[in-house]
Amino acid sequence: MSETSIFDEMWGRDETLRAPYEAFQTWFDGEDAARLRAKQREAEDLFRLTGITFNVYGRAEAEERLIPFDIIPRIISNREWQKLSRGIDQRVRAINAFLYDIYHRQEIIKAGRLPAEMIARNEAFLPQMIGVDPPGGVYTHIVGIDLVRTGDDDFFVLEDNARTPSGVSYMLENRETMLQMFPELFSRNRVQPVETYPRDLRNSLAACAPSGCDGNPTVAVLTPGIYNSAYFEHAFLADQMGVELVEGHDLRVVDGRVAMRTTEGYKPIDVLYRRVDDDFLDPLNFNPNSSLGIPGIMDVYRAGGITIANAPGTGISDDKAIYSYMPEIVEFYTGERPLLQNVPTWRCSDPSSLKYVLDNLDELVVKEVHGSGGYGMLIGPTATKKELRDFRKKLESRPGNYIAQPTLSLSTVPIFTKAGLAPRHVDLRPYVLVSPDRINITPGGLTRVALKKGSLVVNSSQGGGTKDTWVLED
C-alpha cells in the first residue's frame, strides 16, 4: 500500500494537523527531545518496577517480557468516540441476544440467516449450555471489540473478544504512567478518565449475581496460576477490585454452592470472574484431565447457584467464521443496520471463496478460525515465497480452519523515536461491561501499536507495544 493511501490520525492525509492533536502538538513543540527520551526510559523503568510483563509461549526463550510502552498518546475526539460507542453498544447487545438464541430456540438458523453447520460443527459451541439461563440473562459480562481505522470517519471491527478478553490492565497502567510523568499534558487536554474501570467492573459483576444471593455478592477472580501469560492482569484486577484471586484448588462445591477456602473455612462465592478456558473449567463436564477448574461447577451453574463471567460457551460468538455473519446477526437481533462494519471476509470452507483466496494469497491476510495473539496467521504482502507455499498446503488440507481478509490500510499514529515522531500502524480494543440493566463502555481502551516501520502486526506476542488512548471531552 502506498504511503498516501494511509490515514494518519495526527496529520490526516494532507499533512494538516487534525483538531484532536492541536493542544498536544503545541506542548510537544515546546519540549526538549532529551527530556522526552529520559521520560521514555523512565516509563520503561516504571513498568519493570511494577512488574507489567507477559509470557511468550512456544519459544525457547519463553521468559517474562516487558511490553514496550510509547509515551505519545493516541487522541480521539468526543465526536468520534460517540459514534464508536453507539456501534459498540449495538454490536454487544446483538452478541448477547445471539448467544441466548443459539442456546435456546435457534431462531436465526430457522430463519435461514445462519447455516446450521456453523453451529453444529463448531468446537466453541457447548451442548452443556443448551437451555441454560445465565443470571440476569448476561452471557458476555466483559467484551473487547478490536477496531481498526482506515480514514477520517471509517472504522471497522477486526474481531470480537467475548471469551476472556485481556489487556485492560495495560490500559490502566498506561494512563497512570502518563498522569505521573506528564501531569501538565492533562491540564491542557480534557481527557475522559479510565481509572474507574476496576470499580465499574466490580459493580457490574455484582449486578449479575444469582437471584438467590442475599446481601453484598461475593466476587472472586479465577486464574490458571502464575505460569499463565496474563497472570499479572489477573492479580492486578483482583487487587484493584478488592476481591480474592483464586485457583482451582482453592475452590470446591459445598452444599450446592461453589466455595473458596479461607482461614475461617470455606466461604460461598456468588460471582466468579474466570480467566480459565471452557475446556479446563470443570473436569467432570469437560476435559477430565484439567487441574485448573472446579469439579462440579457446571452443575451448580446450571442450577442457578453461581454466576460465571463470561458464561461458558460464549466463544461461539467470537469465532472467526461466525464473525463473517455478524452483519446479519446484528440486523436479525436489533432490527437495525450495523453501525460498525466488518472487514470483508472470505470463508475458506466455501469452495469458491477458497479458490479466490488461493489465487490471491499474496494479497490477503489469512487467519485461523480459532487463532489468537497473532499466531497461526499469514500476512500475504509481507510473506516469503516459502511461507506462501507452506500456507497454501495448510489451506488445501484444512480449508474450514481458515478465513481470509483484505490487507487494510490501517491508520497510523505517531510514536517517539530517536529521530522524533514517526508514524506506526495501530488498532484499538475498547472494553465493555455488561450487566442486566446497562452497558458500560470505558472511554478509549487499549491501543496496540506495531513498533516496526511498515509492520501491520500489533500483538505484543509478535513485537508490538501499547500507548495511552485519550478520548477528549467536548
Of 454, 447, 471, the residue nearest 69 (C-alpha): 447
47-61, pLDDT tens digit by residue? 877 766 555 444 444
The vertex-105 CA angle with 101 and 106, nearest 5°, equals 60
Q: Could you give the C-alpha distances from 406 to 111, 367, 385, 392, 472, in angstroms and in order?
A: 30, 11, 19, 17, 32
Q: What is the C-alpha to C-alpha distance for residues 91 and 78, in angstroms, rounded to an integer?
A: 20
DSSP sequence for 35-93:
HHHHHHHHHHHHHHHHT-EEE-TTSTT--EEEPPEEEEEEEE-HHHHHHHHHHHHHHHH
pLDDT averaged over the chain? 92
pLDDT, residue 84, reads: 97
Cα Rg, the chain, nearest whole Å: 23
Q: What is the C-alpha to C-alpha distance for residues 108 and 115, in angstroms, rounded to an integer?
A: 9
Q: What is the C-alpha to C-alpha distance for residues 382 and 388, in angstroms, rounded to an integer?
A: 10
Each residue of 216-248: b (16+ CB within 10 Å) or e?
ebbbbbbbbeeebbbbbbbbbbbebbebbbbbb
Q: What is the C-alpha to C-alpha distance for residues 464 and 368, in angstroms, rounded to an integer?
A: 20
Q: What is the C-alpha to C-alpha distance for residues 141 and 221, in angstroms, rounded to an integer?
A: 13
Q: What is the C-alpha to C-alpha distance for residues 22 and 365, in angstroms, rounded to an integer?
A: 35
Q: Is the pLDDT of residue 355 over 60?
A: yes
Give the whole-number percent of the chain exceeding pLDDT 90: 79
CB 352 within 8 A of CB 338: no
Task: Write out the three cell numbers for 416.
Answer: 517517539
27-40, pLDDT tens digit by residue? 999 999 999 999 99
Q: Could you give the C-alpha distances from 269 to 35, 164, 328, 345, in angstroms and in order?
A: 50, 19, 38, 42
Q: Is the pLDDT of residue 335 over 80?
A: yes
Q: What is the C-alpha to C-alpha distance for residues 466 and 233, in angstroms, rounded to an integer?
A: 15
Task: Write out the three cell numbers for 330.
Answer: 446484528
Q: Could you give the C-alpha distances from 155 to 10, 51, 152, in angstroms and in order?
A: 16, 33, 9
Q: What is the C-alpha to C-alpha distance for residues 196 and 443, in angstroms, rounded to an integer?
A: 11
Span 65-92, mean pLDDT? 94
Of 8, 76, 20, 7, the residue nearest 469 (C-alpha): 76
Give the whole-number percent of the chain exceeding pLDDT 70: 94
pLDDT, residue 62, reads: 46
pLDDT, residue 376, reads: 73
pTM for this one? 0.92
Which DSSP symbol is given to 457? -
DSSP sequence for 193-261:
P-TTHHHHHHHHHHTT--TT--SSPPEEEE---TTSTTHHHHHHHHHHHT-EEE-GGGEEEETTEEEEE
Q: Is the pLDDT of residue 2 over 60?
A: no
H helix or E strand, kind and range, residue 385: helix 385-397
Of 384, 406, 403, the residue nearest 394 (C-alpha): 403
Task: Write out the three cell numbers for 407.
Answer: 490487507
Which DSSP symbol is given to 386? H
3-state secondary structure of 371: coil
Q: Which residue has the cell 469452495?
A: 351
CB 222 within 8 A of CB 274: yes
371-407, pLDDT tens digit by residue? 655 567 898 888 899 999 999 999 999 998 899 999 8
Q: Could you give the C-alpha distances from 389 to 194, 359, 363, 386, in angstroms and in order?
A: 45, 12, 14, 5
pLDDT, residue 58, reads: 47
Q: What is the C-alpha to C-alpha distance for residues 27 and 395, in angstroms, rounded to an integer?
A: 51
84-122, pLDDT tens digit by residue? 999 999 999 999 999 999 999 999 999 999 999 889 888
Query: Which of 293-302, 367-376, 390-399, 416-425 shows the lowest mean pLDDT across its residues?
Result: 367-376
3-state secondary structure of 420: strand
Structural domains in the chain, CATH included, are 3-343+408-471 (no CATH), 344-407 (3.30.1490.270)
Task: Write out the three cell numbers for 28.
Answer: 510537544
Which DSSP symbol is given to 12? B
Alpha helices (runs of H) in 71-196, residue ranges in sequence order: 78-102, 107-110, 117-120, 168-181, 183-188
263 burial via Cβ count (<10 Å: 0-12, 13-18, 19+): exposed
173-193, pLDDT tens digit by residue? 999 999 999 999 999 999 999
